[in-house]
Structure formats: C-alpha cells, structure tokens
Structure 1
Amino acid sequence: MIKRLAWLAVLVVVVSGALLGLLSGSDAGSQSPVAVPADAESARADALRADFPGGDQVPAILVVTRADGGDLTMADVDATADARARMTAEPGPPVVVSDDSKAAVATVPMSADLSGFGLNDAVRELRATATNGLPPGLRAEITGGPAFGADIANSFAGANITLLAVTAAVVALLLIVTYRSPVLWLVPLLVIAFADRVGSVVGTAVASAFGLSPDGSTSGITSVLVFGAGTNYALLLISRYREELGRTERHRDALVTAVRAAAPAIVASNATVVLALLTLLLASAPSNRSLGVQAASGLVVAAIFVLVVLPPLLALCGKRLFWPFIPRVGAAPLTESGVWHRIADSVARRPGRVAVASLAGLAVLCTALLSTPIGLTQTEQFRVQAESVTGYQTLSAHFPSGLTDPTRVIASSAKAGAVQRAITDTPGVVSAAPAGQSPTGLSLWSVVLKAEPASDQAFETIDALRDSVRSADATAVVGGSDAQARDAAAAAQRDRVVVIPTILAIVLAVLYLLLRSVFAPLVLVGVTVLSALAALGLGGWASVHLFGFPALDNSTPLFAFLFLVALGVDYTIFLVTRAREETPEHGTRQGIVRAVSATGAVITSAGVVLAAVFCVLGVLPLIVLTQLGIIVGLGILLDTFVVRTVIIPALFTVIGPRIWWPGLRADP
C-alpha cells in the first residue's frame, strides 16, 4: 500500500505547492490586532461616535520641537501650521504651543476605516509630507492612535517571510544534528514546510468562514506551531521507523509497523492541541478567536501531511536515507541500553527523593509569578524604536497627560446637565468640554484625565467615571484609549478565567480516552499544570528582570499557558503510550524505564526543536511575541528535561501498578 502511495504523495506535495500561489492572496499581516470585544463599552462608544460630526475620522497628532531642545519661535509655530496645511486641506483647531514654549502640536484628521498596511501607508505619507519643507533645526513626529496602529502593522511588514526563513533554518540545523545525516533532514523539513503553506491557506479560509479576520501576529504564531508540532510528529515517526529497522530487514515492513505504532500517539497529541486551541473560540477578543481557528486548522494539516505524505516518501527513499548511520538488524534496542536507559533506571531506583526534589523545584519557580506585573501600556508594545512612541513621549514631556488623547463620554442630550456635573465631579478628571451632538439625540464630551495614560490610576478614574455618568444617565458610555485599554485588560482576565479551565478539562478528557486509567490522567495533568506555572514564573521573571520589559502583556499568560499545556501533553502522550505498550510484559517500573529509554532521544530532540522554534518569535519587534517565545521556550525545556525525564517516571514508579488501574494489567 505504501509503495502505491509513494508517487501519489510526491504528486500531492508538488500540486499543493503550485496551488499556493493561486490561493494565498491575502496577507494576514495586513490586519491590526483587535484586543477589545465588540460588546465592550469602549467599542460601543466608538460605534456611537460615528454618528457625530467628524465621527468617521480619527486624529493623528503632529508634534514639532527644535532638535537642540530650545524654545520655539513664532516662525517655528508658523512652520508647524504650514506642515499641517501640507498634510491635510481640512480645517481644524489651531496649532497649540506648550507652556514651556518647547513643543507645538497640531491634529490631522484621518479616516477611521483605515487599518493594517493601508493605515501604515497613509501614516508614512503623512510623516514624509510633514518633514519635507520643514525648516532646518525642527523635528516633526507623528503620534496618536493611527500612528500606533500603523507602527504595529509596519512591524509585520515582511515579518512572515523572515519568521518562516529563520524557523526553517533553525529546524533544518537541529534536524541535521539529530539525524547526523546530510540528506534525511530534507524529507521531513520539506513535508512540514509544504504543510505550513497549505495550513496557512486552509486556516485563513476557515477563519474567514467563521467571520474572523486574522491579525498580524496570527500567521506568525501559526507557522511556529505548525513547524514545531509537525517536526515533533515527524521525529516520533522516524524514530520508531529507525527502531523497527533494527528488527527487520525489509524497510517497508518496518515503516508499516512504525506508522501503526506511532499514529495513535500522533493523532492523540494532535487532537489534544487542536481542541485546546479551539477553546480560544470562548475568548472575548476577536484576535484570540481568530488565532484559535487558524492555528487549529494548520495543525490538522500538519498531522495529515506527516501521517499521509511523509511515510510514502520515506518508503520511496529506503534505508539509504539514513546514510551514513544506516540501521542494521540486530542492533541493541533503545529500550535496553543507552544514556536514557541509565537515567531512567537511576530515577526508578530512588523515585521518592527524585519526585519530591523535582516538584519542590517547580513550586519554587511558581512563586516568581507573585512578583510579575501584568499589563503593557500602548507605548510599551515595541522592542524597537517607533516614531509613535517617541512622539508620544515628546508630547507627554511638554503637555498635560490626556490633553491630546481625551476620554470620550457619550450620553443623552436630554440629561446633558446632570452628565456634565457627574463628569466634573469625578476624582481624577481635569476638565470636560462638550464636543458635539448627534442627530440621534446624543451628546459627546471630551474629558481630560489627570493620570498617566493606561496606568492603574487611569483605570481607576475610568471605572469611577463610568459609575458617575451612569448615575446621571443609565445609557451613558465611556470610550477613548484609556477606556479601551481598561476593557482589553478586563477581557484578558475574563478569558483566563474561562479558557484555562476548559483547556484542562479537554486535556484530561483526551488522556482518559487514551489511557483508560483513573489515576494516570490526573497525575499527568497535575504535573503539566505545575510545569506550566513554573515556566510562567521563570519566564515572567526573566522577561522583567533579565530582558528589562516593564511587564507581561495582558495576553501573554493565557497564550503561554495554552501552548505549554497543550504542547507539553504532546510529550506526555509520546511517553505514556510507549509505557502502556511496554508495561503488560515488563511491569510498571521496567515499563516506564523502557519507555523513557525508547523515547528519551526523540522527546529531547523534539523539545529542543520546539523551544528553539518558539524563540524565533523574538525576531519580531513586538514585546508580547518575544515574551511568548521566552516563556514557552523555557517551559518546553522544563517539560523535556525535568517533567518527562524525571518527574513522571519517578511518580509512576512510586505509585506502582495502581497508576494504570483499571484499564491495564500492570504486573509482568
């Protein structure tokens, strides 16, 4: 059967590659991240604002200062006004000069419908127009909401190609080291690379069918997951193939046995990760739901390619693919020799002490979570210098906080007097000015807050302001950047509370179906959760204290926990399915020892590959992706070298045959 499928597999790979150019017309990176649910109060305020004059526009902010830090002259102020006139012909408020006479500000209206690379092009044109014709000695910077959105979109310009190239190079290097063959690494890498491209097309189509639009980070994270998980599946299959070649001379027979033995573990692992990713459909943020659908689709494609396309290609190449280390019949089996056998046997001799020491170490790492701050402001999103950030810092140094990016309150015009008093009486509000009325009987106020933008004090003021205005008008809503940041933080907290328990329930259900044991799934999930929390603690500490990031992003804990649990269970499944296979003949203690011996090399290789692939996210300039790479990379290494190699074998040995009850006879 494999022989007949070999050329068909080659045809599938070639045809799928040819079709990609026709199908992959959209660029996921063209969308900006959407962190606020559509039903959030700030989102509803933005929707209502569209009914007001100028509501279809958002302001970009031009900040002009002298390069030497000196005071602006009247000629400099006139040059600022001229720059604004070059940028737009629409009338607007006059140029405002700071009290210290060192900065001038002008606002430029932009269409609120612009997003992604279209927004980036528009802001880049504004920046070029503002700078051209500016007298020597003056410096112009464009900041504000549109500029931040443009810089985020620009950070993904060409990023997918860079990320894909670096990821493929890392995987290729590690596969060469793993297989010690100049040719073997090419087959799985090509299969996974095609799977990634096909998965990208399929994932985008599925997300679009659900009415979701992937943002700039979605395709990058999906590629990392497909390359990482796909490589894991290929390593497991090829490792078992190599092992079977030591038992039989006919390579096709060995491959059939390897596929039959490895397929259940690959399918179970894939199902676990896919179902865990689909829990993101329960998230409130549209970008999270989009990531869940697209990444799940990509991983299904990866598993199909590894199970359907890779085996025929391996059969077509034969044993010579392993050159120069071609397996020979009669070689010492992995289950009875080697470094992993010695490590597992050593753990099994002192399981109690090993388990206590290892679990205590993970518990200590978990405590670092208590001192890790969560929540990045708008200006803290970039690892590289962005003009929107430097311009905002210039603005903040010379103007009161909130003056150029006010909070907006929308309420019934019939209750305008009571709402106005409620706004001005709220602690933390500097001023409130009417900003227009809509034909639908609503009034808009522009409110300046005293607190720094997106700070805890600003969030407290937003909460107090919402309570105040609703006491005057129950239908009143509060929007603006600070309100949006407050809603994004609340949505992230809600998603953690809803999604994380669902992930654990799904993983537990899959393990129960796979192992048919009462105790083993509980032990495995418990250890996996402890390992994930330890990785969050260690990675969070490293992000803040070692790499100097201000805090973890709101979305980092959820994504990191999801990937750590789902991908960590991959290795658990690889190990325990082999232990379940060995236990009936050799008993619980020797069964787990033989399982570690057989899977130690492949789990280590897979773990190092996956950790390295996640670290590749650091090539992108957003802090949230760098943090995700750090935490997940460290967590995968903990899983690989501590949990699967030490803790699980120790716990299985301590618990004994009861660990498999009632689904397996665990005595030899």
Structure 2
Amino acid sequence: MAGKTQGRSRRRAVPWVVLGLWVAIMALAMPFAGKTGDVQQDRAVDYLPASADSTRVAKIQEQMPGGEATELVLAYHRDGGLTAADKATAQAQVEEIAAQHKLTGTPEAVPAKGGDTLFYPVASNEPGTDEKLRDAFVASVREVADGEGGLSVDVGGSGAYAADASEVFNSLDGPLLYTTVAVVAILLILIYRSPFLWLVPLIVAGVADALSLAVTYGLHQAFDITVSGQSTGIMTVLVFGAGTDYALLLIARYREELRVTERPLDAMATALRGCGPAILASSGTVAVGMLCLLAADLNSSSGMGPTAAVGVLCALVAMITLLPALLVLFGRRVFWPLIPAFGSQPKQRRSLFGAMGSSVQRRPLAVLATSAAVLGALALGAFNLSGSVKQEDSFTKTPEAVRAMTTLAEAFPERSAQPITVLAPAGEAAQVLAEARQIKGVAAVEQGRSSDTWTELAVIAKAPPQSAGETATIEELRDKLETSLVGGVSAQQLDLSDTSARDTTVVVPIVLISVLLILIVLLRSLVAPLLLTAAVVAVWGAALGIGGLVFEPVFGFEGSDPGLPLLSFVFLVALGVDYGIFLMHRMREEALKGQDTPTAALTALRTTGAVIASAGLVLAATFGVLMNMPLVQLVEMGFVIAVGVLLDTFLVRTYLVTSASMALGRKVWWPGPLSKRPETGGGALPDRDREPAVLH
C-alpha cells in the first residue's frame, strides 16, 4: 500500500518537474533569443548563392580599396522648374554633406533636360560593410538634404534602398508577433468559450517562439545559416499556427478523457497516447518538408528550411510537454464554465461534417469530378501572375528611396539612374570599357576604383532599372564580356529570379518524394499516399491561381515574388498533408475495426471534422497576419498559404479526399493487407453522432 502511495506521489510530481525544466530552459534561452535580430541579413546579395555573379561582385567590392561604398542619389525636384535658389540650396547641402563625411570623389550636379529635376550622386566608404554605420550615414545625409517651399528632396540609390529595407525588416518582429498573438487569442476565446483556457496554449506558443529564436541564433553561430527578417517572421507565424493546431487536438482529446477518467493526470496520459502519434507524425512531416529547402541554392530559401523546421519542432516539444503539465496542474477548473465532469456525457448534436459526408456518399464520383474541376479551374489563374516584382515595387508603402528613383526615372527617361557594376580584370580594363560602350543598350561607362586584380566600371543603361530593356543589357554584358563579372542591384534581382526558378525545379521533386515516402510508411499503402499528395498539389495550384487573379487587379501589386511558387509549395504541401494524415489515419483505424470504406470515411470525417476545421481556421488566420505586413513578398506569401489552408480544410479534405476514398473502396489501401479484406457492407452511421469537437 505504501509503495502504491509513493508511486502515485511521484506521478503527481511529474508536472511540477516538467514545469521546472521549462523554467530552466527558458532562463538559458532568453538571452540568445534577443540576439536573433542582430544576425538577420536582408540585403538582396545576402539571399543569393555565393556562385552568383552579382554575389561575387559584392564580395570583391568589399575587398577593394576603401571597401564597399554606400552609394546614394540626392534627387531635387520642383514642379514647373527649379529656381536659381533651389540649385543654390542643393549645392550648399551637398557641400555640407561633403564636410561632414569622407566622400569618394566630388559630387557633381546632373540636371534633367526639362529643368525641373537634378540629382547629385554621393558615395562614401565610411560605413564599409557595417549595416548600422550605413543606416547612420543615410540618416545623416537625409537630415541635411531637406526641401521647403515646393522643393522636394529625396535620397535614393542602392545604399538608401538598403537602409529603408533594413528599417522595414527590423520593424516586422514586434507588429508581427503582437498581431499573431491577438488573432490566435480571439480565435481561441471563440473556440473554447472560456475566460481562462485560451491563455494556456497561447502562453505555451509564446514560450515555443522564444525557444525557436534562441535555437535559430545557435544554428547561425554554429553553421552560418542565413537568417532573414522573412524567415524569422514566418517562423513565428508557423510556431503559433502549427503549435495551436497541436494544442487544439490534444485539448479536445483531453476533454473527452476527463469525462471517463477521474484523475486529470491519468486523463492526460491517455490523451497523449491517443493523439500523440498523430501529432508526432504531423510535425515530423512538416519538419522534413521544410528541411528539403536545404537543397535550394538561394540562401534565403535554404536558411528558411532549418529555421521553419526549428519552429515546428519547438512547438511540438512545448505542446506535448509544457502544455500537458500546465493543464494537469490547473485541473478541470481551467475549462470553466464548461467543465467536463467525471462520468458526464457530452451534449449530443447533429454533426455538420457527418451531414457533408452523407451528401458525398450519395454521389462520390460526381463530387470527386466537381471538386477536381473547381481546383483545376482555379489553378488556371496562376497564368495571370505577372513577372518578378521590381525592387521599387516590393513595399506596400513607398519609402523615400523608391520616391527618389521614381522621380529620376521620369526626369531621365533616356538613361538609368542606377548603374550596373562591371568588374574587369585589371589588365583588361581599357578593352572591357571599350567593348561595354559598343553594346546597344549602354548609354555611358565610367571607370571607378581599382585593385591589383580588378577594375570597377559603372555602366549606365539606356533603359529604366529592372525593365526588360535593362535585363537584356545585363545579359548582353555577361555574354560579351566573358572575363568580367556583372553585378549591381538590378543584376542581383535578375540572379534572384533565375536562382528561384532553378530551386523550384530541384526542391519540388525532393519535397514530393520525401512526403510520399513518409505517408507510405504511416498509412502502409501506396494509393492513399498518392491520393493525399495529389490533393495537396492541387490545393497549391488553386491557391496560387487565386493569387494570380487578385494580386494585381485587387491588391495593385506590380509583380510577384520570385520565391513565391517554391515557398508556398513547400508550406502548403507539408501543412496540407498534416490534415490528410489526421483524416486517413482515423479512416484506417475504423477500417481495421471492420467497417467498410464508405462507413470508415464517414466516421473519420465526423470524428476529426470540427477539430481539424478549428485548426485550419487558426492556421489560416495566423498566416493571414502576414498580409498586414509592409512587404509585398510577405503579403503574397500569407495570402496564398491562408487560402490554400482553407481550401484544404473545407474542400479537399471534406469532399475530394472523402469522395475519392469512397469511390476507390478497399483499393485505397492497396497493396497493404487492408486492400485484400472484403467489404463488410456496413452502411452509413446515423446522422446524429457524437462529434468530438473542441467547441463542446
């Protein structure tokens, strides 16, 4: 008797031990979590692979005399024409900037033919490669360059653009976190209808987010993975979205067990045994899918792979250890006012998903054909996606650097205000300069810095920056100047687009094969995994198609992010397979009990419907938070993933997968043992069936 009492006491101590371990873990992790922002790299060149021409140019420039120069353009404009006083003001301001900073050369005014605009090119090596010094230099120049009385002054150029982009990325963390927390909190309150319960998974998700930031910082220090504002932002969304999904599934099962088990600790142990394997399989699939991004050449994509995987795994660990411990310690009262009393029965209600499943059962082939046709029609919208978004169009609100470049593009239509950088071998500089001037799209070529091995040339294109004409000029420069390297902002954007296209062709098959193999092992079948994989690919195509229909006409975007197809594919396939696993795993359980395939499909839909619908809404809403961010690439990413999750939750899982399973019958489990069992002929379950939803 004493042994039993001691054993029971030790078990009761387990939640306290788990809580204590988490307190210790967070005490160690928090100092490192705050350092993640210090190692973020958000320049275009940081996203590119080391082998790209534009990356090599940027690295070589850092080693040239004076280091990397921060290049600015001061654009002065007055509608109706600049006055003599305006020109004197501009000259005085440039002289003041030159007195405050060590500039590379003396800035000279370049007036436009119309007389309403002039600009000064300003460059300095003072900041070098230090981003904080660069941002301080840009801020200092902007403080001096100021207009009044109708004279507008904007500071642009690559240095100013980088500073504006850095400011935007650095401002993401706070608003993104607060908005995500608010959205998840509202949804949890609506789902649980409890003044206390919603706080528990939200706090645990916050702990998981802090831990994932600390681990990400550690990975950067150990393996030099690229950490960007985009990757950490998406990681936060993924932690709260996926983590809350796991919490919804666990709490729903825990609530059920509390009705048939007297002690909360025993109820939680049973709940973990019941839904733990599905949660582990789900999170493992997502993590593997994310890690497939390591095969990408683009540093931003390959860095996002381990970052996202870390987020999912931290969410998993927190939700199956810390969350259970807290729920057990709080006891049944955490569910107040809807406390699941021991021995009570849940309220019986008509199953919405059961009714939907019954409608599928009547005409499975018609439902299957209709669902496939709808997804196929939506996917056609992807052909409406415009070309890669230009650098100046990548913000939802126009920063000063973009205003400056727009002003110059209108005032100087005959030339680009953004030079293309060519690095020529030192002994061939004169020859390369002469050859560059002969290229059709080149307006002018100027020689700059030199080192023992390289000479820098600034090539001015006739076409505007990042236009089709300038792209053709860059490609011709690379083709004709075989011994030289061509870089600069526009070349970086071109390399970004080309590398993204290459990564898509490489990573997509790897993701598909990896996910398919995992599903085959989990479901012990070949047909069911192929069905789920085809379904999530269809969801991706449809979501991307909807994006193509609304990005330009509704949102007013002038292009799409080159990395959107790949990243949205990885996220939608990995996350979409999650819900498919929950549905098919339950269907297989029912089939093993002897139910025929239609009945097993209906039972699976009834028993998983509300929980997964709630999880899908939370996940879609968290990714929807990205649509409130000031960067076009994040808005597009958030929209496509949110729409894809909703399609998967309410169309694909409910209708397409269910109808296909009914139409295939036992063949859905081929070649596993289940496929060889004869159908029992069991009919549909009654319409009124208890549905273990989180809303009870």
TM-score (norm 1): 0.94
After superposition, what is the alpha-carbon deviation per residue over 1:137-191, rounded to whole angstroms, capped at 9, x for unaligned?
Answer: 4322110111111111111344212211111111111111111222211111111
In structure 1, the partner of 2:508 is 500
Contact 1:60/1:109 (8 A) holds in 2: yes
In the TM superposition, residue 251 of structure 1 has moved relative to its aligned partner by: 3.7
Aligned with 2:139 (options 105, 112, 124): 124
2:509 is paired with a residue whose SS is helix
Contact 1:143/1:391 (8 A) holds in 2: yes
In structure 2, the partner of 1:548 is 556
In the TM superposition, residue 287 of structure 1 has moved relative to its aligned partner by: 2.0
In structure 1, the partner of 2:93 is 83
In structure 2, the partner of 1:224 is 237
Between the aligned partners of 1:370 and 1:2, the Cα distance in structure 2 is 59
After superposition, what is the alpha-carbon deviation per residue over 1:35-88, rounded to whole angstroms, capped at 9, x for unaligned?
Answer: 32221011222233345555531311111123xx13223332232122122223
In structure 1, the partner of 2:616 is 607
Aligned residue identity for 1:509: L
Contact 1:9/1:313 (8 A) holds in 2: no
Between the aligned partners of 2:347 and 2:501, the Cα distance in structure 1 is 50
1:88 is paired with a residue whose SS is helix
Contact 1:539/1:630 (8 A) holds in 2: yes
Between the aligned partners of 1:181 and 1:299, the Cα distance in structure 2 is 27
2:169 is paired with a residue whose SS is coil
In structure 2, the partner of 1:524 is 532
Between the aligned partners of 2:133 and 2:433, the Cα distance in structure 1 is 38
Over the aligned positions, Cα root-mean-square deviation in angstroms equals: 2.2
Contact 1:188/1:231 (8 A) holds in 2: yes
In structure 1, the partner of 2:466 is 454
Seen in structure 2, the aligned counterparts of structure 1 residues 213 and 310 have a Cα distance that, compared at 3 Å, is same
Between the aligned partners of 1:95 and 1:619, the Cα distance in structure 2 is 40
In structure 1, the partner of 2:685 is none
Contact 1:543/1:630 (8 A) holds in 2: no
After superposition, what is the alpha-carbon deviation per residue over 1:544-589, rounded to whole angstroms, capped at 9, x for unaligned?
Answer: 2211111211112211111111111111111111112221112322
Structure 2 residue 575 is matched with structure 1 residue 567: yes
Structure 2's unaligned 5+ residue stretches are 1-9, 681-696
Q: Equivalences for 1:32-43 in 2 at 5 Å? A: 32-33=42-43, 34-43=46-55
In the TM superposition, residue 400 of structure 1 has moved relative to its aligned partner by: 4.1
Seen in structure 2, the aligned counterparts of structure 1 residues 464 and 246 have a Cα distance that, compared at 3 Å, is same
TM-score (norm 2): 0.90
In structure 2, the partner of 1:11 is 20
Which 10-residue stretch deviates more, 421-430 or 597-606? Answer: 421-430
Seen in structure 2, the aligned counterparts of structure 1 residues 116 and 626 have a Cα distance that, compared at 3 Å, is farther
In the TM superposition, residue 32 of structure 1 has moved relative to its aligned partner by: 1.8
2:137 is paired with a residue whose SS is helix
Contact 2:70/2:128 (8 A) holds in 1: no
In structure 1, the partner of 2:690 is none
In structure 2, the partner of 1:245 is 258
Structure 2 residue 127 is matched with structure 1 residue 98: no
In the TM superposition, residue 250 of structure 1 has moved relative to its aligned partner by: 4.2
Structure 2 residue 385 is matched with structure 1 residue 372: yes
Q: Equivalences for 1:151-166 in 2 at 5 Å? A: 151-166=164-179
Aligned length: 658
Aligned residue identity for 1:636: V
In the TM superposition, residue 116 of structure 1 has moved relative to its aligned partner by: 4.8
In structure 2, the partner of 1:649 is 658
Seen in structure 2, the aligned counterparts of structure 1 residues 113 and 347 have a Cα distance that, compared at 3 Å, is farther
Between the aligned partners of 2:508 and 2:11, the Cα distance in structure 1 is 41
After superposition, what is the alpha-carbon deviation per residue over 1:85-116, rounded to whole angstroms, capped at 9, x for unaligned?
Answer: 22233342322222222112112223463455
1:544 is paired with a residue whose SS is coil
Aligned residue identity for 1:601: A
Contact 2:381/2:547 (8 A) holds in 1: no
Contact 1:270/1:299 (8 A) holds in 2: yes
Q: Equivalences for 1:385-534 in 2 at 5 Å? A: 385-400=398-413, 402-416=415-429, 418-440=431-453, 442-470=454-482, 475-534=483-542
Aligned residue identity for 1:93: P
Contact 1:13/1:191 (8 A) holds in 2: no
Aligned residue identity for 2:94: R
Between the aligned partners of 2:63 and 2:272, the Cα distance in structure 1 is 61
Between the aligned partners of 1:56 and 1:288, the Cα distance in structure 2 is 25
Between the aligned partners of 2:355 and 2:193, the Cα distance in structure 1 is 23
Seen in structure 2, the aligned counterparts of structure 1 residues 126 and 374 have a Cα distance that, compared at 3 Å, is same
Contact 2:429/2:455 (8 A) holds in 1: yes
1:39 is paired with a residue whose SS is coil
In the TM superposition, residue 381 of structure 1 has moved relative to its aligned partner by: 0.8
After superposition, what is the alpha-carbon deviation per residue over 1:377-423, rounded to whole angstroms, capped at 9, x for unaligned?
Answer: 11101101210111111111112465432112222344445434432
Which 10-residue stretch deviates more, 224-233 or 612-621? Answer: 612-621
Between the aligned partners of 1:532 and 1:359, the Cα distance in structure 2 is 13
Between the aligned partners of 1:204 and 1:63, the Cα distance in structure 2 is 39
In the TM superposition, residue 657 of structure 1 has moved relative to its aligned partner by: 0.9
Between the aligned partners of 1:583 and 1:397, the Cα distance in structure 2 is 68
Aligned with 1:173 (options 164, 180, 186): 186
Q: Equivalences for 1:654-665 in 2 at 5 Å? A: 654-665=663-674
Between the aligned partners of 1:381 and 1:115, the Cα distance in structure 2 is 24
Seen in structure 2, the aligned counterparts of structure 1 residues 269 and 237 have a Cα distance that, compared at 3 Å, is same
Which 10-residue stretch deviates more, 245-254 or 338-347? Answer: 245-254
State, as a whole percentage, how many aligned pairs show the same letter. Answer: 38
1:217 is paired with a residue whose SS is helix
Between the aligned partners of 1:27 and 1:402, the Cα distance in structure 2 is 41
Aligned with 1:636 (options 645, 665, 671): 645
Structure 2 residue 123 is matched with structure 1 residue 109: yes
